[in-house]
């Protein structure tokens, strides 16, 4: 697939990290900000941007450590608070006056639950579509529920790599190998009818290595000591039924007690459904965005007439 995005000027986050921002689609359409996961970069959204481009303005950015964004060292630079600051910097640049529709996958979704549940972002996010990335805090509560011990164990077994990533230095050496790169591509192609001809996402070594700090900085602290916050942001959770990493139950059930306006929709596909079925994902995003368009701002002097 030909490149869909055009690079905008980079933005700087609160700590000075430079983020590469990309744009595609209709400049007058609703703004969809797409946040990719690990070990991807913004190119994972090419197919969906092509599907939405006629009617939507699609913004994507390389998260810190990935693609052509800066690559800060050390786990502290990858804490959720820093990632939320990155998101704020991007939306303030691309849509300073209008709420955006947030679309996120994998770690992009995990990190996006931070802004979605933060009152400081209440008037900046019109809707949230989450794919294969449950909130760590919500998941921490869900895993403790004795009503589904078997399901919790199955999810923990699927998440074995999160524990392995806590080992110093060794994981970086392993994921930098061509063997792991080929393995990621094989997983990306799972279930695709065009697996023999499809082009995988072009992932660099930095995409595979720097993102390990996301796990080191955030996972165990939130799973062991969850602090779930509620949200009023309308949220659509798309659940790929054959995802080998995030089981359908944790994705579908973990947000239920905390998200007031929640829609959960199962879809066919594996973890990288965003590249395997961009048409399907875009269809759901288009419908959800249309149903949650923010009301237009009332110009000064055009509101209700005050009583005398």
Tokens of 118: 């933060």
pLDDT value at 259 more than 80:
yes
Euclidean distance between CA atoms 224 and 238, whole angstroms: 26
Contacts 24+ apart (CB under 8 A), 77-80: 77/15, 77/17, 77/213, 77/217, 78/210, 78/211, 78/213, 78/214, 78/216, 78/217, 78/218, 79/217, 79/218, 80/111, 80/114, 80/217, 80/218, 80/222
Euclidean distance between CA atoms 50 and 3, whole angstroms: 9
Residue 272: exposure state from Cβ atoms within 10 A (0-12, 13-18, ≥19): buried
Indicate the range of 20-29, 62-71, 298-307 predicted with least confidence.
Answer: 298-307
Mean pLDDT, the chain, integer: 92
Euclidean distance between CA atoms 6 and 26, whole angstroms: 12
Q: Which CATH topology does 6-291 take?
A: Rossmann fold (3.40.50)
State the pairing for strand pair 18-19/262-267.
Answer: unpaired
Q: What is the mean pLDDT of residues 84-107?
A: 97
The pLDDT, as a whole number, for residue 296 is 63
Confidence of residue 3 (pLDDT cuts 50, 70, 90): low
Q: What is the pTM of this model?
A: 0.93
For residue 32, what are the β-bridge partners? 58, 101
The pLDDT, as a whole number, for residue 196 is 82
The Cα angle at residue 259 between residues 32 and 226, in degrees rounded to 5 = 105
Pair 203, 186: CB distance under 8 Å: no
pLDDT value at 307 more than 70:
no
Which strand (E) or helix (H) includes residue 264?
Answer: strand 262-267
Spans of all domains in the chain: 6-291
Helix, coil or strand: residue 170? helix
Q: Higher confidence at residue 100 or residue 9?
A: 100
Euclidean distance between CA atoms 205 and 175, whole angstroms: 8
The pLDDT, as a whole number, for residue 159 is 86
102-129 residue pLDDT tens: 999 999 999 999 999 999 999 999 999 9
């Amino acid at each position: 697939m030909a490149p869909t995005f055009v690079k905008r000027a980079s933005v700087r986050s609160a700590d000075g990290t430079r983020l590469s921002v990309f744009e595609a689609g209709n400049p007058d359409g609703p703004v969809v900000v797409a946040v990719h996961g690990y070990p991807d970069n913004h190119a994972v959204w090419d197919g969906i941007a092509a599907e939405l481009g006629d009617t939507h303005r699609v913004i994507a950015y390389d998260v810190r450590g990935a693609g052509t964004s800066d690559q800060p060292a050390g786990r502290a630079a990858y804490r959720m608070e820093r990632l939320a600051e990155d998101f704020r910097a991007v939306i303030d640049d691309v849509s300073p006056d209008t709420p955006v529709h947030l679309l996120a996958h994998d770690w992009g979704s995990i990190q996006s639950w931070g802004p979605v549940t933060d009152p400081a972002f209440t008037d900046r996010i019109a809707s949230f579509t989450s794919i294969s990335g449950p909130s760590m805090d919500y998941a921490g509560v869900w895993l403790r529920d004795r009503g589904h011990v078997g399901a919790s164990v199955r999810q923990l077994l699927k998440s074995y790599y999160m524990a392995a990533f806590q080992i110093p230095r060794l994981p970086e050496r392993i994921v930098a190998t061509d063997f792991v790169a080929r393995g990621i591509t094989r997983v990306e192609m799972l279930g695709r009818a065009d697996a023999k001809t499809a082009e995988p996402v072009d992932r660099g070594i930095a995409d595979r290595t720097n993102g390990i700090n996301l796990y080191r900085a955030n996972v165990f602290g939130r799973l062991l000591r969850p602090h779930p916050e509620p949200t009023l942001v309308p949220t659509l959770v798309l659940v790929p039924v054959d995802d080998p990493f995030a089981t359908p139950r944790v994705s579908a059930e973990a947000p239920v007690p905390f998200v007031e306006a929640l829609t959960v929709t199962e879809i066919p596909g594996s973890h990288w459904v965003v590249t395997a079925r961009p048409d399907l994902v875009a269809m759901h995003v288009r419908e959800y965005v249309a149903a949650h368009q923010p009301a237009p701002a009332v110009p000064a002097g055009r509101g209700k007439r005050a009583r005398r």
